[in-house]
Structure 1
Amino acid sequence: MIQSLLENKSLVTVVLAVVIITVKLVVTRFIKRRAKKKKIDKRFTVNLLNNIFNFSLILIMFNIWSVEIQKFAFSIAAFVVAIVLVTREFIQCFIGFIYVVSNRPFRIGDWIQVGNYCGEVNSIDWINLTILEVNISNYQFTGKTLYMPNNQLVTTAIKNLNFLKRYAVHHFTITRDGSVNPFEFIDALKVKANSYCADFNDVAVRYNQVIENRLDINIAGPEPHIEVATSDIGDTQIIFTIFCPTERAMEIENKLTADLMNFWFSAKSYK
């Protein structure tokens, strides 16, 4: 009978808990009453005894239920591992969201590049980033909407292209054969480029300075640059660098391309 009662862990736990708590209350009450009569501050002693009794109770319970606690811990660990494996992608997305919120590499409305994708940030939540895709070669919206998981924001470099939203350092190259010397008309081509950029030159100068001050770097502009080089196979390359409003980049490129062709064929016809 006694053996069966001792094997009943629930009953033993309740009895020990009642005994320890009762002893604690009796001892602490006795100390408080005695301290009150002698007018001595025994709060430290009472607090220490309370902690000792509480720790003893927890230690005894742990020893009684150690096997069950160990099994429960293994079950919880296996359950947690299973949950982590199943929800790993969501956890990574949430970490990416925290990274963006804390570091703020971009804001809603900014132009950014993540990997090979460029676009305007439309929205972001704890799962994904929504981007309105932009063709960076002509600075036009493609009409496509990209939904990018936030975990890519942690593992992939993020480029903030926001200054390209208004003004862009536009590069383009025109390749021709070596039958004409481009230095014969390069000065006239520069005059054409300056004339196309004259109406926004003042604004371009100010915006160029703002970008340089913000990024603490020197960028090309605001005046147009034209260089002459050769390709790997010996063809002539005319390289243009124009600092201009983003929406006018393709317009100016087309005009300069037409001017170059006119100069090129005119020079060729004289030979």
Structure 2
Amino acid sequence: MWDFKEISDLVLEYKLALSVTLAMLILIVRRWVIKGIRRRAKRKAQDKRPVVNAIKNITNLSLVFFLLAIWSAELQHLALSIAAFVVGIVLATREYIQCFTGFLYVTSTRVFRVGDWVEVGDVCGEVVESDWLSLTLQEVYLPTYDYTGKTLNIPNNQLFTKPVRNLNFLKRYATHTFTITRNQTVNVFQFIERLHERAKKHCLHFRDVAIRYNSMIEHRLDVTIPGPDPTIRVTTSELGDTEVTITIFCPTEEAIEIEQKITSDFMAYWYATKSKAALPEPADDEVHRVNGAS
């Protein structure tokens, strides 16, 4: 039977082979586990990306820990031999240290998780993966709430220097604001009440869900947000044109569609008022869709 000293000597003698074998074993097991999790998530229609991301980070940390344990003596000698260059090494690896610190900060504070919508500086996207060095986002164009198809890799050190906003609530419901600008040949207050009723009708089919979601956001964030009923505000621009700003609290995927319907109603009322004709009764949502298709 081998004693502990013999095993230690054997490990020291075959460090390189042991390191390669251990790395391959950990990576193979990780790939097998992740593949099983993704297969089960696809079968149950569940989002397991946070679990997959956590497994990747844990296995990477374990691999580094074991490699450091195996090569600790060599690393110690190396550290002693380059003690005079420690300052230079720190300066050279400053960006990596900041990235790793940023990863620890995000992980400890739970600013976001995989699958959340976040805004870092002036870019916005859905978190796809977060590792020690960078944050990977699928870019989202906020004015239309659509994916652009671009993948963004943001170094973690920017999480310290730029504001990070969690926009996860926008994935389901958004406070969508848009402005319609026309000249002052028409007094929009003649039909603003009717336009408001039309806006409320377009939002009627999800009003109950919007009320609950609005209350949940206000309770969680401890703030008051507009909604769920539409609001309309009339102002003038610097050039003297009339600006009608409409705010709706609606499902994110329906925001642009509802904006187009309200804009269609506004234009119908505006031209009817300008020609001094009777205000039209805009078609129902079904007729809107038929007209749009034609």
Whether these two folds match at TM > 0.5 is yes
Letter in 1 for 2:190: E
Secondary structure at 1:107 match in 2: coil
2:22 maps to none
Q: What pairs up with 1:84-99 in 2 under 5 angstroms?
A: 84-99=90-105
Summarize the alignment of residues 104-119 of structure 1 with structure 2, pairs less than 5 Å apart. 104-119=110-125
Alpha-carbon distance in structure 1 between the residues aligned to 2:255 and 2:122: 21
Cα deviation, residue 78, structure 1: 3.3
Instruction: Supply the distance in 1 between the matched residues of 2:127 and 2:155 (Cα, whole angstroms).
Output: 13
The residue number in structure 1 matching 2:227 is: 221
Aligned match for 1:266, one of 251, 262, 272: 272
Question: 2:171: which partner in 1?
Answer: 165
After TM superposition, give the deviation of residue 74 of structure 1 in Å: 11
Between structure 1 and structure 2, the one with the greater Rg is: 1
**Structure 1 stretches of 4+ moved >6 Å:** none
Q: Percent identity?
A: 59
Aligned equivalent of 1:248: 254
TM-score normalised according to structure 1 size: 0.71
Q: CA deviation at 1:218?
A: 0.4
Distance in 2 between residues matched to 1:74 and 1:112, nearest whole Å:
43
Question: Is 2:87 the partner of 1:81?
Answer: yes
* Code of the aligned partner of 1:123: E
- Mapped to 1, the partners of 2:155 and 2:204 lie a distance apart of 44
Which SS does the other structure have where 1:233 is aligned? coil
How far 1:155 sits from its partner (Å)?
1.2
Q: Deviations over 1:154-211 (max 9, x none)?
A: 1111111111110000000011101000001101101110111000000000000000
Q: Which residue of 1 aligns with 2:185?
A: 179
Figure out how many residues of one structure are paired with residues of the other and give that number.
Answer: 199
Tell me how far apart the structure 2 counterparts of residues 164 and 174 of structure 1 sit (CA, whole Å): 23
- Give the Cα separation in 2 of the matches to 1:199 and 1:78: 71
- Structure 1 residue 81: Cα displacement: 1.2
The question of 1:195 aligning with 2:225 is answered no
Aligned partner of residue 203 in structure 2, secondary structure: helix
After superposition, the CA RMSD in angstroms is: 1.5
